[in-house]
Structure 1
Amino acid sequence: MSSRSTFGTVKRIGAILIAIAIVLAAGIVVGQAPAIFGVDQDPEASIEFEDQQGDGTNVTIDEVTLSDGGFVVITDGSTDPIVVSEYLGSGTHENVTVELEEDDEPELFGQLTATVHQDTTGDETYAYDETDGEEDRPYLADGFPVSDTATVTTTDDDALTDSFVVESLEIPAEATTNETIDIVAEVRNPTEFDTQQSVDFRVDGTVLEQQALELAGGETREVIFSINTTGSPPGEQTFGVYTDGDGAIETITLEFHTDPGIDVVDASDENVTTNVAIPTEGFVAVEDNESVLGTSDELDPGEHANVTIELEESVDEDEELNATLYEGDPEEPDDAEAIEHDNETVEVTFTIADVTMGSDDESDGDEADDPEADEENDENS
C-alpha cells in the first residue's frame, strides 16, 4: 500500500472521529440545555381560589397557572374529589368555572379545596383516582400539593331552608401548641320543625370533630368544640364550623409553646438517644464532619423523650458529633432543611465519651443524695 493512500485513509478516519465527537458534544449540550440556560424542568403551578357565593353546582377559580397543563380538582376535606375541571393547557387561566354534571345534586358548599394536578399521561383525561395516584399527581411546591381553600356560601334561599345556619363563630386570635381552646359557634334552625343535624369542625378543610345537634323550630344554640392543639404545627390555620348548607371560618395563629431544642441523654457507638422539642414535622440526624451517620423516625410537632438514632457505622468515643433537628423526611435527609431558632441551627455538639461520663456522674450524684441509701449504708456498717 502506498504512503499516499495510507495517509488518505488516516484523514478519512480522523474526519469520521471528529464528526462523531461533534455529534456527541451536541447531544450533551442539548441534554444539558435546561441547566445551561437556567430553565427549570420541574413542573410548576399556582392557584387563587377566593371565598364566594354560589348555587352549589359550580365554583370559580380566580386564577390558575400550570407549566405543563393539567386539571383543577375540588374536594371538601375527604380524599374523593367532588368535581374535576376540564383539561387546562399550559399557561395562566382566569375565572375558570368548575361545574358538576347536570344530574348531580348541588354540593359545592362550605369550605372547599382546589388542588392543581398534572396531566402525566398526556391524554388530557384525569386519571389520578383510577390509577391509585400513580398518574396525574398534584403539582408540588416545597414538597406540598399546590392548592388553595375557599368558603362557598349559597345564593339560593331554598337551599338553606332545611339547613341549620351558622350565625357566628368565635375563636381566639392566638394560641400555643400545647393548650385546649374553645371554638364557639352560634347555630340556628331556620325551619318551623324540630330537626337534628350534624355540625362539623374543620381545620384547613379537614373534618376533625362532629357533633349531632337537635334544635326546635327557630331555636338558636351555642355549639362548643374544645380543641387540644398539642401536636399541631405552628403558624396560621383556618378553623371552620359547618352545617349541611352553611358555614363560617376564622383564622388563628398558633405559636410553638417552647423553644426548639435537642438534648443528648445517652450515647454509644451503636445509637444515640435524645430528648427534643421540634416545631414541625421532621427528624433528628446525627452527623460527623463529612456525612449523616443516622436519623430518627419521623417526628410530629411537639416534645419527644428518648428519641433513638441508630448509627450506620461505629464511631470513636472521642469523635465530635452533631445532633441536629431537620424539617423533612428522614428517608431523604439530603432534601431536608435544618431547623433554625433565632437565626441559628438547632443542634448540639457532643462526644460519646462526654455523654457516657455525664451519665455516670449523674448516677453517682443521685446515689450520694439518696437519704435512704445513706441510712442503709450506716446500718450495714
Structure 2
Amino acid sequence: MSSRLTFGTLKRIGAILIAIMIVIAAGIVVGQAPAIFGVEEDPEASITFEDQQGNGSTVTVQSVTLSEGGYVVISDGGDEPLAVSERLEAGSHENVTLEREDDATRELLGQLTATVHRDTSDDEGYAYEASGGEEDQPYLEDGFPVSDTATVTTGDDAVSDSFMVESIDVPATATTNETIEVNATIRNPTEFRAQQPVEVRIDGAVFARQVLELEGGETRTVALETDTSGAPPGNQSIGVYTEDDGVLDRIDLEFHTDPSVSVETASDGNVTVSAAIPEAGFVALERNGAAIGTTDRLEPGEHENVSLELSDNASIDEDEELTVALYAGNPDNAGAASPIEFEGEPVRTTFTPADVETGDSDDGGAGNDSSGE
C-alpha cells in the first residue's frame, strides 16, 4: 500500500516537472518569436555630437550606436552632405572622425547636424542622395531621423565674433502659404558694434534673412517675418542662424490647399498641367496604368503651366483616354515613386486630349476626377 502511494506520488511529481519544462520551453519560444518567425524589430540608433573646435576639414562624432550598421552623415541644411563616414558595423562606436567630401562647397564649420543612416543599397557606399532618398534612409525614432546638432568653430577670433542666438520663439503650427513671425534673441559677444546676417531656415532651406546691427555687448529680440510658401508640410525643423551659431525648434506645417492636378492643354507631344503638390514630387502622364511621360521635379506648392515631357517614341492620340497623377519622389526614378493620396485616394485626373482646351480659350482644362473622392 505504501509503495503504491509512493509510486503514484512519483508519477505526479514527474508530470508536474514535465509541465514546468513545457512552460519554460514555451516562454523561450515566445521570447524568440520575432527571430523564429522572421519578424524583425525596427532598427534603432543613437548619436552624440558635441560642440567642438575644428579645422574645417574634419569633425568628430563622440558616440554612435547602430542596430544594423550604416553611416553617419554631416550636413548644414543644404541639399548635399558635407561629410559621410565609412560604413559602420552594427554596435557602438566612439570618436568617429569624418572628413569633408571632396566636392563639398562649404567647410565643416558652424551649425552642423549629424544624422545616422541605414545601409540598405546593394551598391557599395552611401547612396541616399544618389537614389533620390529611396536607399540608405535615416534611422527613425518616433518618426523623426536620429540626429544631433553641434556648433563647430576654429577657435579664431574671427569666428568667435559671430552673433549668438540666445533663444527663439516660433509658432507651433502654420500653413505653407502664410507669413509667420519668428522672434529671436540675439547677442553681440564682442566689444564692438557690428552688422551680421540673421537667417530663418525651415527644413534646412533659408526662408527669411535680415541684416542686424548690434552695439558691443548688446542683446536684442528681433521679429523675423517669414513667408512659409514653398516649405514642405509636416513636422519640420525651423531654426534661426547667425554666422556661426543657431538654435533649432520644430513647427507643424499644414499644406494650405487640397492636393490636385488638372490638365491645361493637350495635343500630340504636348501636355501642360497645373498642380497643387504637398511634397516634393512630379506629375506623371499615364496610359492604361503605365507612365509615358513626367514633369520635372516639383517643389511643394502650387504650380501652373507645367510641361509634361513624353518618353522616347511615345505619342498620344486625341481620342484616347489618359491620366495625369501626382507622385512623391524623383521623376528620374519614377518606378520607385509613391502616389500622393488625399482622403485615401490617389490624386489624379482622367482626360481625353480632344476634350481639353488648347489654351486659346480662357475656359481652362480638365479638372480632377479623383482628389480623394
Give the TM-score of the pair, scaled to structure 2: 0.64
Q: CA distance change for structure 1 residues 88 and 336 in 2, over 3 Å: closer, same or farther?
A: closer
Q: Match of 1:354?
A: 355
Q: How does 1:220-259 map to 2 (within 5 A)?
A: 220-243=219-242, 246-259=245-258
Paired residues in the alignment total: 300
Query: Deviation per CA, 1:172-200, whole angstroms, max 9, x where unpaired?
Result: 11111112222210112345544554444
Work out whether residues 111 and 205 of structure 1, in 8 Å CA contact, stay in contact via their aligned partners in 2. no
Q: Match of 1:323?
A: 324
Q: CA distance change for structure 1 residues 358 and 190 in 2, over 3 Å: closer, same or farther?
A: closer
> How far, CA to CA, are the matches of 1:63 and 1:278 in structure 2?
37
Query: Deviation per CA, 1:1-30, whole angstroms, max 9, x where unpaired?
Result: xxxxxxxxxxxxxxxxxxxxxxxxxxxxxx
Q: Which moved more, 1:222-231 or 1:321-330?
A: 222-231
Cα displacement (A) at 1:354: 2.5
Q: Match of 1:340?
A: 341
> How far, CA to CA, are the matches of 1:359 and 1:349 in structure 2?
21
> How far, CA to CA, are the matches of 2:347 and 2:74 in structure 1?
39
> How far, CA to CA, are the matches of 2:87 and 2:359 in structure 1?
63
> How far, CA to CA, are the matches of 2:73 and 2:357 in structure 1?
55
Q: Match of 2:259?
A: 260
Cα displacement (A) at 1:346: 0.4
Q: Match of 1:29?
A: none
Q: CA distance change for structure 1 residues 198 and 305 in 2, over 3 Å: closer, same or farther?
A: closer
Q: Match of 1:305?
A: 304
Paired amino acid for 1:165: M
- Give the one of 126, 134, 143 matched to 1:142: 134
Cα displacement (A) at 1:49: 3.4
Q: Match of 1:49?
A: 47
> How far, CA to CA, are the matches of 1:82 and 1:298 in structure 2?
23
* 3-state DSSP of counterpart to 1:262: strand
Higher Cα radius of gyration: 1
Q: Give aligned-pair identity as a percent.
A: 44
Query: Deviation per CA, 1:297-355, whole angstroms, max 9, x where unpaired?
Result: 22221111122224453344332221111112222322211110000000111112322
Work out whether residues 282 and 298 of structure 2, in 8 Å CA contact, stay in contact via their aligned partners in 1. yes
* 3-state DSSP of counterpart to 1:259: coil
Paired amino acid for 2:178: E
- Is the counterpart of residue 74 in structure 1 residue 66 in structure 2? no
* 3-state DSSP of counterpart to 1:187: strand
Cα displacement (A) at 1:267: 1.8
Q: Match of 1:286?
A: 285
Q: Match of 2:30?
A: none
* 3-state DSSP of counterpart to 2:331: coil
Work out whether residues 73 and 117 of structure 1, in 8 Å CA contact, stay in contact via their aligned partners in 2. no
Over aligned residues, Cα RMSD in angstroms?
A: 4.3
> How far, CA to CA, are the matches of 2:112 and 2:261 in structure 1?
38
> How far, CA to CA, are the matches of 1:97 and 1:66 in structure 2?
19
Q: Match of 2:149?
A: 151
**Unpaired runs of at least 5, structure 2:** 1-37, 55-59, 100-107, 139-144, 365-373
* 3-state DSSP of counterpart to 1:230: coil
Work out whether residues 283 and 327 of structure 2, in 8 Å CA contact, stay in contact via their aligned partners in 1. yes
Paired amino acid for 2:72: V
Paired amino acid for 1:330: P
> How far, CA to CA, are the matches of 1:176 and 1:284 in structure 2?
23
Paired amino acid for 1:302: G
**Unpaired runs of at least 5, structure 1:** 1-37, 102-106, 121-133, 364-381
More helix by share: 1
> How far, CA to CA, are the matches of 2:351 and 2:295 in structure 1?
17
Q: Match of 2:202?
A: 203
> How far, CA to CA, are the matches of 1:234 and 1:55 in structure 2?
33
> How far, CA to CA, are the matches of 1:243 and 1:358 in structure 2?
47
* 3-state DSSP of counterpart to 1:353: helix
Give the TM-score of the pair, scaled to structure 1: 0.63
Query: Deviation per CA, 1:344-376, whole angstroms, max 9, x where unpaired?
Result: 00011111232259988959xxxxxxxxxxxxx
> How far, CA to CA, are the matches of 1:81 and 1:272 in structure 2?
36
Cα displacement (A) at 1:170: 1.2
Cα displacement (A) at 1:89: 4.3
> How far, CA to CA, are the matches of 2:261 and 2:281 in structure 1?
13
Q: CA distance change for structure 1 residues 117 and 108 in 2, over 3 Å: closer, same or farther?
A: farther
* 3-state DSSP of counterpart to 2:335: helix
- Is the counterpart of residue 98 in structure 1 residue 96 in structure 2? yes
> How far, CA to CA, are the matches of 2:246 and 2:316 in structure 1?
58
Q: CA distance change for structure 1 residues 271 and 264 in 2, over 3 Å: closer, same or farther?
A: same
